[in-house]
Amino acid sequence: MNTSTPALPEDGLLDLHRSHLKRQKKQRIQVFSVQMALLLLFFAFWELAGRLKWIDVLLFSYPSKVFAQIGKDAVSGELWGHLGITVGETAAGFVLGTLFGTLLAVLIWWSPFLSKVLDPYMVVFNSMPKVALGPIFIVMFGAGFLSITVTTLSITVIVTTLVVYNSFCEVDTNLIKVVRVFGGTRAQVFRKVILPASFPTIISTLKVNVGMAWVGVIVGEFLVAKSGLGYLIIYGFQVFNFTLVMSSLLIIAVVATGMYQLVVYVERKLLNHRR
């Protein structure tokens, strides 16, 4: 008696695939709709709380004033210079941090001796508050773009190194043994096994580094900058213009979200291409 499951015809498989894609699209629309509803509800409550004096408007402001501040700065052109500087610093810290961190992870994986030597230093450096290193970087590299970028690298490089190196070490040892049995060199093991297996982790690290890069840049601008969104936040606190502070924070949130979504898009394209 034949108990095997009959194969679906090709048309049936296509229908199942289309149905699956429709469900995915519907779910994405539902998720996006709920996200937008929550965001609008937050702004509506914030506006109402400010108008009815439920909150201290001097400290928290409210959306209509914040958007008016953004519109005024955008029309006057003052906003774009500060935004361009901060985005440039963040992009530099993000790209260089990911690149250097990955290369350092490769280096310490390649040399077990070097890994044992550097391991305690990396742990200590990762635990140090990077704000404390900011003044040292300012003295070393001057008050400007370079010191802010180095401050950002002090955050992104070590995080990338630790995450990527741990991913290298967690690769299935049986796969490595197979390559070794067939006479593979350490370089071939890395190229054929370690790197492909760790590729998703490396790509995911990009998403982590988006937030880390913004933290590093804003901290650097707090300490030294005379321009940039971090500078606007500090200036707003100094002159008690908290609407300027809130508008700068809102712009950072929007641009950081856009940068994150760009990384997600690149990740999806790269992973799909590898398949």
Where residue 144 falls among pLDDT bands split at 50, 70, 90? Answer: confident
Sketch out the chain's domains with CATH numbers: 58-274 (1.10.3720.10)
Where residue 170 falls among pLDDT bands split at 50, 70, 90? Answer: confident
Distance CA 92, CA 43 (A): 32
- Scanning the chain, the segments in alpha helix (DSSP H) are 10-51, 57-60, 63-76, 78-110, 112-127, 130-141, 145-169, 173-181, 186-189, 195-224, 229-238, 242-274
Q: Which residue has the higher pLDDT, 5 or 184?
A: 184
What's the pLDDT tens digit per position in 83-112?
Answer: 999 999 999 999 999 999 999 999 999 988
Mean pLDDT of the chain: 85
Q: Which residue has the higher pLDDT, 60 or 19?
A: 60
Where residue 9 falls among pLDDT bands split at 50, 70, 90? Answer: low
- Predicted model pTM: 0.82
Where residue 1 falls among pLDDT bands split at 50, 70, 90? Answer: very low
